[in-house]
Structure 1
Amino acid sequence: MPSDAEDTRNKPTHIHTLISSPCFPVTLQFLDITYRIKVDTSRTRPSTGSALNRVIAQSSTVREERTILDGVTGHVSPGELLAVLGPSGSGKSTLLTILAGRHPGRHSGSVLANGARPTRSVLRRTGFVTQDDVLYPHLTVRETLAFCAMLRLPDSVTRAEKAAAAEAVIGELDLGRCADTAVGNGFVRGVSGGERKRVAVGMEMLINPSLLVLDEPTSGLDSTAAGRLVATLGGLARKGRSVVMSVHQPSSRVYQMFDSVMLLSEGSCVYFGKAGDAMDYFRDVGFVPRFHVNPADFMLDLANGVVQIEYNTDADKKAVKQSLVSSYNRELAPKVKACALDSVNAAGEAAAVGSQRSGNGSRELERSYYSSVSWFSQLAILLQRGLKERRHETFNSLRVLQVVATALLAGSMWWRSDIRNVGDRCGLLFFTSIFWGVFASFNAVFAFPQERAIFIKERASGMYTLSSYFMARMAGDLPMELALPAAYMTILYWMSGLRPHAWSFALTLVVLLGYVLVAQGLGLMLGAAIMDAKKASTVVTITMLAFLLTAGFYVHNVPRWLAWMKYTSFTFYCYRLLIAIQYTRSEFYSYLAVSNSGHTSEADILRQVGVGTSVMALFAMLLGFRILAYLCLRRIKA
């Protein structure tokens, strides 16, 4: 959290005024939105031939087209709260991602803002809150909003003004009581679910959005918390914003807060209009509840094809849905489309008038407000945020205990080992290579998969560039990932009685730290390439196993057709360097002959690869793995 935030919490600024004032009006129209996807389905057919073959079923994969949205039309005006209702799988989330300009797939139909296709400026004025809470769990509410303000508000705004903007959002969303509490998640204790949702909304409020799109913001909240959140969203809409939200099953109190409602059933719209007119419409088309019921519950039953609870066969459900779609296409669809087209013209004229009325100072303020942050500012902010967030994970008490306990155990096992006992010394050096190769690569493989949702959301919002994010991650990893191996080696080196010279200790530590960075690079690359934590961890385990087997300790006579693998193993080069630091060539051969330990593989390693070659190989891998990780991240579309 910026240190000067405390001095600016009650200080009025032009940014505070911009956030709390009515925003530039945007009328959103969406016409005939249709989205289809190709899916693979397995079909089983009996095979012909012998009696045995006829018993065996042959399955074939057929690629079919599935309709997610089918010609959905509607509009939302400034000051209006539109709720999109429908059962799970009805297409609510897909529609909202399309309206927010965040959907990666291709769709037909038109999405218009003030009668024109959304420009980059409009998209930057669009706030999008995903269904899941995509937040860093260890940051406090104030830190989360402050870092978001520093990334989303331009360099022309001072640091103090950005902190004041975060405080303004905290006050507007009533988050003052939990401002210094960690956000939390399912594994980290933090604020309540309703407060976490308001934090997600607050992050979008920092840009003073003209259009606010929320995907099921009340999911997982109790009735009271959901009511408070929707009331907050309604208040934001009254200040001139167009607000669209999807909701699964609102209470009757929440339903009364909606201005307009859209009901979806299997991708088709079956109602669009004023929330208070919905029950009258369904009564006119022949669907009347037998007793007083929450309008939202009744509408969701209809969207599922259920009229009365005793009539719920698949055929009855299908007939109800078809009847609803037919009635909508006949009664409402022409009116909705005509109204949407009329709003296109009206919105275009209103936008032109509003643009003429706004003064030069207001336009300059808007332009500066939505300009981007410089690359170096992004790097510094992301680095500061990453250090605050990941310190809790890196210096977790269990992880620290694991490293310290391993160092003490290994130091006790090799306590004051004799330099002439080559076999034991090489065993210690190889154990260190095994432990830190697996430890570093396995922890790093989860980095990008765990942050994928946050990374995609923030990149889609234009908060930073991929290069600044990647460089901040790499720079932030240096103090985080090197502290524990440094502590490990400091404990183990002097306990085990390795060469008692400060220079030898320093070289050993440098080699180990470089080796950790190379192993971490392998984990980052595999994590970025696969983007699935479980699959990536399996691949990194197999890869490290191959590297360890070919490093020259376990297997003395590697088959010729596999000998090349050791030159791709960074464990091979690390092991060779650790031996070279502890022994000169003459010492090594003389002690090896005296001990008669039979570890001829170590002698082979000294003959095969020089120190300079090993250093160059590790350095090349350190850079190469990270370059490949960056290229893999470039494939991810924001």
Structure 2
Amino acid sequence: MSLNSIASSPGNCGFDNNITLPDLSTMLQPIFPIALKFEEVVYKVKLEGQKCKEKTILNGVSGTVCPGEILAMLGPSGSSKTTLLTALGGRLKGKLLSGKISYNGQQFTGSVKRKIGFVAQDDVLYPHLTVFETLLFTALLRLPSSLAHEVKVGQVEHVITELGLARVRNSMIGGPLVRGISGGERKRVSIGQEMLINPSLILLDEPTSGLDSTTALRILTTLKAMADSGRTVITTVHQPSSRIYHMFNKVILLSEGQPIYYGSGSSAVEYFSSIGFSTTLTINPADLLLDLASGIGPDSKHATEQGENMEKEKKQVKEALILGYQNTISNRLKSELCNFDAAVCNWKKDGSKITRKDMKKEEWCTSWWHQLRVLLQRGMKERRFEAFNRLRIFQVLSVAVLGGLLWWHTPLSHIQDRIALIFFFSVFWGFYPLYNAVFTFPQERRMLIKERTSGMYKLSSYFLARTIGDLPLELALPTAFVFIIYWMGGLKPDPFTFILSLVVVLYNVLVAQSLGLAIGAILMDIKPATTLASVTTLVFLIAGGYYVQQIPPFIVWLKYLSYSYYCYKLLLGVQYHENDVYPCFKMGKWEWCKVIDVPAVRSMGLSNLWVDVCILGLMLVGYRIIAYLALQRVHTR
């Protein structure tokens, strides 16, 4: 199937049927250009502990960006560059954000979101995936299902070549504990993830942060090529070199959220000279702008000093810059905004027009089943090094063998020891999977926020893929555990009883995992999640029916919340029946006693087991629903 035929096929998620896609030997042309206009953007935050007080983070920032242009946001740390970028990317919402941001004259919608590429300052990538795998899974999730798999792979290869990543295509991304590619290569992978979707508008937060000048220049050269192909590029840059600075078409200079310059990058020095801030030195324009935004005038002899006089001088400089902006730039900008028409920004390179009808209604590029399948594949690839690692296998098997030796062929007459072994089943496989599941969502919070805000997949497909992907390990280890300790402990040597016991344990594992997922999803922080999990497991242990058999009536409800209680009761019901007997020593002689008369068994009971099965089923479903609902609010934080 050719690219042209794919582009014209129905259901292609916003691909303009009139656009002919070029060969992959050249960068794909944008689907349609996006002209961005933002007027008087104001953002405030409420001060903690002060209900009525607010702090202004952005104060009336305005501007326009056309296809083919690079808009750079400059300013010292804390000048709200990232906040403005986030707002322009449609990721900053709420009553505290005011102003008007339009894309081709329309407000932000789901269809616009899928045409925007957003590269955050921190590279959020899976450490155990290779460069090729990272980009391929992104392509499979974000490119339309109508595109053939070979085309998506071809686009991945094209982006790898375009960004100079061919040398490390099969290297792992790496992380704090995993050796991987360099920082510059990680940044290029993050940019490549956004390039794959062929965005019309791409926003980048500090893409050159922490990189050497050569690598930074290479990244900006790539962005310049993307702009030249008809994309709209907006980036924040902390301290660009002069070579990088002259690549910018437009510059916004911010000082504590207040705009003090907007216009052509090449005209900035001339503008500041016209309002009294000229310099006699040959200097990088970006350095001059950053000094001014910090309140330091050109050729200042007190730039490194501290004290009341210096702060007063900085305040005077900033006031003069704000006044100059209001008197000189503000009026011109208002006129530009009033007369701005997206059609003025028509990208002439391929003759495409900016029109309102280009914006199609929101729809997903891939089906739910496709998302589930790809996320499952990615999850297995990512966790292939940790799923069946030797430490976890050794941990479980060593406990099983040691427990089997301690309960080695327990005689039928030692019924208390057998009951203790049954309770150990319910406790160990009630707590071990819970603690593992608690870490699941907090560890992936940043990745989930990144991908959900990009509209990569539905939350339901991610949730199901993540929980299903953990099942092989969650079920394989307890199966091996039961196989070892059941027969070593000398429990009822009946295959049917053994299978039922295994099923109950695996059932309990799923319930415990569900509670762990719910705790992790609600708190989304590992430390408080593990603390809550510890308290919960301790309460469930005490109220599980073994240690305290006669719980006071006013707190007896606690045991009915403990899944360990129901698992323990089911295991007892599988192992024993009400008419079963065991040899006991009474009145100086051996005789047969009823199992139901044992206090530990009598307090639990051996009837109504199906009720316990149903209650565990409700817990299994209920905890997972709670986890899913908790995750729904994560990406809106």
Q: TM-score, normalised by structure 1?
A: 0.87
CA–CA distance in structure 2, aligned partners of residues 525 and 573 of structure 1: 19
CA–CA distance in structure 2, aligned partners of residues 18 and 602 of structure 1: 75
Please give the residue correspondences for 1:9-408 in structure 2 after superposition, counting only pairs within 5 Å: 16=24, 19-21=27-29, 23-41=31-49, 61=50, 63-106=52-95, 107-118=97-108, 120-288=110-278, 291-307=281-297, 308-310=303-305, 313=308, 314-344=311-341, 346-347=343-344, 354=351, 372-408=365-401
Q: Deviations over 1:53-75 (max 9, x none)?
A: xxxxxxxx554111011000112
Q: Is the 8 A contact 1:589 1:603 kept in 2?
A: no
**Offset of 1:101 from its aligned partner?**
1.3
Aligned in 2, Cα 1:220/1:551: closer, same or farther, shift over 3 Å? same
Partner of 2:633: 635
CA–CA distance in structure 2, aligned partners of residues 263 and 364 of structure 1: 34
Aligned residues: 603
CA–CA distance in structure 2, aligned partners of residues 85 and 170 of structure 1: 29
Q: Is the 8 A contact 2:44 2:58 kept in 1?
A: yes
Partner of 2:491: 498
**Offset of 1:79 from its aligned partner?**
1.7
Aligned in 2, Cα 1:533/1:613: closer, same or farther, shift over 3 Å? same
Greater mean deviation of Cα atoms: 411-420 or 68-77: 411-420
**Offset of 1:204 from its aligned partner?**
1.2
CA–CA distance in structure 2, aligned partners of residues 322 and 24 of structure 1: 41
| Partner SS, residue 271 of structure 1 | strand
Aligned letter for 2:40? Answer: D
**Offset of 1:509 from its aligned partner?**
1.6
| Partner SS, residue 70 of structure 1 | strand
CA–CA distance in structure 2, aligned partners of residues 357 and 218 of structure 1: 31
Q: Is the 8 A contact 1:173 1:232 kept in 2?
A: yes
| Partner SS, residue 59 of structure 2 | strand
Aligned letter for 1:379? Answer: L
Greater mean deviation of Cα atoms: 277-286 or 81-90: 277-286
Greater mean deviation of Cα atoms: 150-159 or 567-576: 150-159
Aligned letter for 1:498? Answer: L
The reply to whether residue 451 of structure 1 matches residue 449 of structure 2 is no
Aligned in 2, Cα 1:508/1:342: closer, same or farther, shift over 3 Å? same
Please give the residue correspondences for 1:425-464 in structure 2 after superposition, counting only pairs within 5 Å: 425-464=418-457
Partner of 1:45: none
Q: Is the 8 A contact 1:305 1:320 kept in 2?
A: yes
CA–CA distance in structure 2, aligned partners of residues 242 and 137 of structure 1: 30
Aligned letter for 2:378? Answer: R
**Offset of 1:599 from its aligned partner?**
10
**Offset of 1:278 from its aligned partner?**
2.2
**Offset of 1:516 from its aligned partner?**
0.8
CA–CA distance in structure 1, aligned partners of residues 203 and 149 of structure 2: 28
CA–CA distance in structure 2, aligned partners of residues 254 and 292 of structure 1: 17
Aligned letter for 2:181? Answer: V
CA–CA distance in structure 2, aligned partners of residues 14 and 589 of structure 1: 81
Aligned counterpart for 1:623 among listed residues 621, 624, 627 = 621
Q: Is the 8 A contact 1:551 1:571 kept in 2?
A: yes
CA–CA distance in structure 2, aligned partners of residues 384 and 166 of structure 1: 17
CA–CA distance in structure 1, aligned partners of residues 101 and 367 of structure 2: 31
Aligned in 2, Cα 1:601/1:256: closer, same or farther, shift over 3 Å? farther
Q: Deviations over 1:557-599 (max 9, x none)?
A: 3111111111111000111222233333344665597899999
Structure with greater helix percent: 1
Aligned in 2, Cα 1:142/1:376: closer, same or farther, shift over 3 Å? same
Aligned in 2, Cα 1:270/1:365: closer, same or farther, shift over 3 Å? closer
**Offset of 1:209 from its aligned partner?**
0.8
**Offset of 1:538 from its aligned partner?**
1.5
Aligned counterpart for 1:421 among listed residues 391, 414, 417 = 414
CA–CA distance in structure 1, aligned partners of residues 353 and 596 of structure 2: 89
Aligned in 2, Cα 1:255/1:355: closer, same or farther, shift over 3 Å? closer
**Offset of 1:94 from its aligned partner?**
1.3
Q: Which runs of 5+ in 2 are unaligned?
A: 1-19, 298-302, 587-591
Q: Is the 8 A contact 1:19 1:206 kept in 2?
A: no
Q: Is the 8 A contact 1:265 1:304 kept in 2?
A: yes
| Partner SS, residue 16 of structure 1 | coil
| Partner SS, residue 624 of structure 1 | helix
Aligned letter for 1:551? Answer: G
**Offset of 1:520 from its aligned partner?**
0.5
| Partner SS, residue 75 of structure 1 | strand
CA–CA distance in structure 2, aligned partners of residues 507 and 149 of structure 1: 44
Aligned in 2, Cα 1:501/1:368: closer, same or farther, shift over 3 Å? same
| Partner SS, residue 584 of structure 1 | coil
Greater mean deviation of Cα atoms: 611-620 or 310-319: 310-319
Q: Deviations over 1:7-36 (max 9, x none)?
A: xxxxx9968378533552222121111111
CA–CA distance in structure 1, aligned partners of residues 265 and 585 of structure 2: 87
Q: Deviations over 1:437-469 (max 9, x none)?
A: 222111111212222222222222222212222
Aligned in 2, Cα 1:275/1:600: closer, same or farther, shift over 3 Å? farther
CA–CA distance in structure 2, aligned partners of residues 336 and 113 of structure 1: 18
CA–CA distance in structure 2, aligned partners of residues 547 and 493 of structure 1: 23
Aligned counterpart for 2:605 among listed residues 585, 607, 611 = 607
Q: Is the 8 A contact 1:198 1:229 kept in 2?
A: yes
CA–CA distance in structure 2, aligned partners of residues 533 and 592 of structure 1: 51
Aligned counterpart for 2:541 among listed residues 535, 540, 548 = 548
Q: Is the 8 A contact 2:89 2:118 kept in 1?
A: yes
| Partner SS, residue 147 of structure 2 | coil
CA–CA distance in structure 1, aligned partners of residues 147 and 357 of structure 2: 13
Partner of 1:52: none
